[in-house]
Amino acid sequence: MAMGFFEPPWGDETAVKEDAHWVRGYAPKGQTPILEHPARWTTLSMISAISPRGEIAFEIVEGSIHAERFIAFLEKLITGAPRKVFLVVDNLRVHHAKVVSAWLADKQDRIELVFLPPYAPESNPDEYLNRDFKTALRTGPMSTDTQSLLEKATTFMNGLRQLPEKVARYFHHPVARYAMLDI
């Protein structure tokens, strides 16, 4: 799937889970309450990239984001890109992995990673997308299995793709304004 990427993108990864649901219940004194919702399933993760123009690319995968998955996402970002992609990322260990550096070595004319300062997540506009994403996952009925959680997550992200003005507003946060383009 070519993402037909844009410029300049900011990227980030996040876990896909509904762990903030407060499930309340009661049981007779001395008996343990039983939760009727499963607490854990297979881990899902999302990697995304956004632009100040409101463009978005994302991928939701089973398991965590490791170097090979990050490389696969980068490959999709540069496929069909008309010019070099400068992807702004945080300092996640995966971004600095030797295998990632080796993959990037012969693609210097097509893609470059630009690193944000350490411990500055608020300066990455994609973090504001993650906040909205996790809030959306925690609204409505709780998912009952991995597939329903995946569908809920994908529905939100595909809907967000149709709202470029909302995505562009992530760049309006006072700490992320530096990333806005003059468009």
Domains (ranges, CATH) in the chain?
10-15+41-180 (3.30.420.10)
The angle subtended at Cα 45 by Cα 109 and Cα 168, nearest 5°, is: 60
Using one digit for the tens of pLDDT, what is the confidence trace for 38-74?
555 568 999 999 999 999 999 999 999 999 999 999 9
Q: Which residues of 19-34 are buried (b: 16+ CB within 10 A; e: fewer)?
A: eeeeeeeeeeeeeeee
Q: Binning pLDDT at 50, 70 and 90, where does residue 1 land?
A: very low
Mean pLDDT of 22-36: 72
| Cβ proximity of 5 and 84 under 8 Å | no
Return all residues near 158 (Cβ < 8 A) that are at least 6 apart.
none
Of 72-86, 92-106, 115-129, 163-177, give the range with the top mean pLDDT: 92-106
Instruction: Look at residue 79 and tell me whether its pLDDT is greater than 80.
Output: yes
Give CA–CA dist 66/154, Å, rounded: 20
